[in-house]
Amino acid sequence: MGEHSPLHTKSAQLKKALAWMAETLLDNPEKQRLAVLREAELRFDLTPKECAFLDKHFSAS
């Protein structure tokens, strides 16, 4: 990841969203990844830059 990636900003909300997504997908394997990703973006009130990061790196199945 580049120097300007959202993870490099140490966003607490992004870290919480990633942990929540991992736990949710592990506990509910039937859920679609994209639906979980969208819920995380709303639940953790992520910035557009953070949402773009998640879309780029985690929307693929």
The confidence score (pLDDT) of residue 2 equals 53
Question: C-alpha dihedral over 27, 33, 37, 40, to 10 degrees?
Answer: -20
Domain ranges of the chain: 10-58
The confidence score (pLDDT) of residue 10 equals 60
Give percent of the chain above pLDDT 70.
82
The tens digit of pLDDT for each residue in 10-19 reads 689 999 999 9
Give me the mean pLDDT over the 28-52 stretch.
95
